[in-house]
């Protein structure tokens, strides 16, 4: 079980064919290496680049990174003893069965055939693929293929696991099922998870990193991230209802005419009384990860445009 910390200092990556554009721009991270650390961000934000560097697949241009004190560059061989990964766009080999997939992966990692075979069957049963373990993966659904890939790392002895967008393209039911397995996985391992789905990070992560244009614009637990935003409350007002004047917050409108006010706690209570008196249809809640994400990403855009 990982029990130290994940640390990055000034981690920067410039790909040779990128005309000097920084895929990662001086990323600093220092978090405990336990639970699920979820990286969220838009396409091209730098999530995969960061994960590939931490998983020893890619060399950084500058800066340093370590997990539990093991440097990802100079001590890569030592770190590889403890890690396993399911890369973004990883696919199951269609001419192999789930059992062959997990078994061969375990044998690559040095497990004997007998142990790998037993472990593969046990883990595939645990993720609900016991009936399909000997069916060619090309005959399986997308969700089953993804579960097969997650089963490979679940079956390994690795205590640091990287999952790069493991639920992309899955239907909502398969996604929720996979969330349950990820929760199990994180009980005794450190999971680094990238995702496009903010609710996934909100549901699973003990620590969330928000990436935008190669930079880490937010880092911490959901409560930490909420605390970093001045406007902590969200009021959603149905289309047709009058929107009261807002002093400390910001108002946005959706295409359907629904208005959203992000504001401070004090103003939120004041506004809710006004809305109640006016008979408006509205709901009030603490800001969600979506709200925090859009706030931090927009702030990141402002900072970039000021440079």
Site residues for other proteins per CB under 8 A: 16, 52, 55-59, 76, 80-81, 83-93, 95-96, 105, 108-110, 136, 152, 156, 158, 162
Q: Rounded to the nearest whole angstrom, what is the least distance from the CB of residue 254 to other proteins in the complex?
A: 38
Task: Give the integer Cα–Cα distance in Å for 56 and 2.
Answer: 17
Residue 93 phi, psi (nearest 5) = -75, 120
Residue number with CB closer to other proteins (109 or 299):
109
Q: Judging by beta carbons within 10 Å of its beta carbon (0-12, 13-18, 19+), is residue 18 exposed, middle or buried? A: exposed
Residue among 189, 186, 227 nearest 205 (CA): 186
Task: Give the integer Cα–Cα distance in Å for 287 and 296.
Answer: 13
Residue number with CB closer to other proteins (162 or 282):
162
Q: Rounded to the nearest whole angstrom, what is the least distance from the CB of residue 33 to other proteins in the complex?
A: 16
Residue number with CB closer to other proteins (95 or 223):
95
Residue number with CB closer to other proteins (145 or 212):
145
Q: Rounded to the nearest whole angstrom, what is the least distance from the CB of residue 156 to other proteins in the complex?
A: 8
Task: Give the integer Cα–Cα distance in Å for 81 and 159.
Answer: 9
Q: How are strands ordered across the β-sheet holding 207-212? A: 83-86, 160-164, 190-195, 35-41, 207-212, 215-220
Q: Rounded to the nearest whole angstrom, what is the least distance from the CB of residue 82 to other proteins in the complex?
A: 9
Residue 89 phi, psi (nearest 5) = 65, 10
Task: Give the integer Cα–Cα distance in Å for 230 and 11.
Answer: 28
Is residue 248 left, alpha or beta, with left meaning phi > 0 and alpha meaning psi from -120 to 50? alpha
Residue number with CB closer to other proteins (52 or 212):
52
Q: Rounded to the nearest whole angstrom, what is the least distance from the CB of residue 16 to other proteins in the complex?
A: 8
Q: Rounded to the nearest whole angstrom, what is the least distance from the CB of residue 236 to other proteins in the complex?
A: 41
Residue number with CB closer to other proteins (86 or 198):
86
């Amino acid at each position: 079980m990982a029990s130290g910390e994940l640390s990055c200092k000034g981690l920067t990556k410039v790909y040779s064919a990128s005309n000097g554009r920084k895929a990662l721009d001086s990323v600093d991270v220092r978090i405990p290496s336990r639970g699920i650390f979820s990286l969220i961000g838009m396409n091209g934000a730098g999530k995969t680049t960061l994960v590939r560097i931490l998983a020893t697949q890619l060399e950084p241009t500058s800066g340093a990174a370590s997990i539990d004190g093991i440097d990802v560059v100079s001590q890569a061989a030592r770190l590889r003893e403890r890690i396993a990964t399911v890369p973004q766009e990883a696919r199951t080999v269609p001419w192999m069965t789930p059992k062959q997939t997990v078994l061969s992966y375990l044998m690559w990692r040095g497990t004997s055939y007998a142990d790998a075979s037993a472990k593969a069957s046990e883990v595939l049963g645990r993720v609900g693929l016991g009936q399909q373990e000997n069916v060619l993966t090309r005959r399986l659904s997308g969700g089953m293929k993804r579960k097969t890939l997650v089963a490979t790392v679940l079956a390994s002895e690795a205590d640091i696991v990287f999952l790069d967008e493991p639920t992309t393209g899955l239907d909502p039911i398969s996604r929720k099922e996979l969330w349950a397995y990820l929760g199990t996985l994180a009980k005794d391992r450190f999971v680094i998870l990238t995702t496009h789905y903010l609710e996934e990070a909100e549901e699973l992560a003990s620590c969330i990193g928000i990436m935008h244009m190669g930079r880490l614009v937010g880092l911490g637990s959901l409560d930490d991230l909420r605390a970093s935003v001045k406007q902590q409350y969200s009021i959603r007002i149905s289309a047709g209802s009058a929107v009261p004047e807002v002093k400390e917050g910001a108002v946005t409108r959706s295409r359907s005419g629904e208005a959203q006010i992000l504001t401070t706690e004090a103003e939120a209570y004041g506004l809710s009384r006004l809305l109640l008196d006016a008979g408006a249809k509205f709901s009030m809640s603490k800001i969600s990860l979506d709200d925090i994400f859009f706030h931090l990403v927009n702030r990141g855009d402002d900072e970039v445009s000021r440079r």
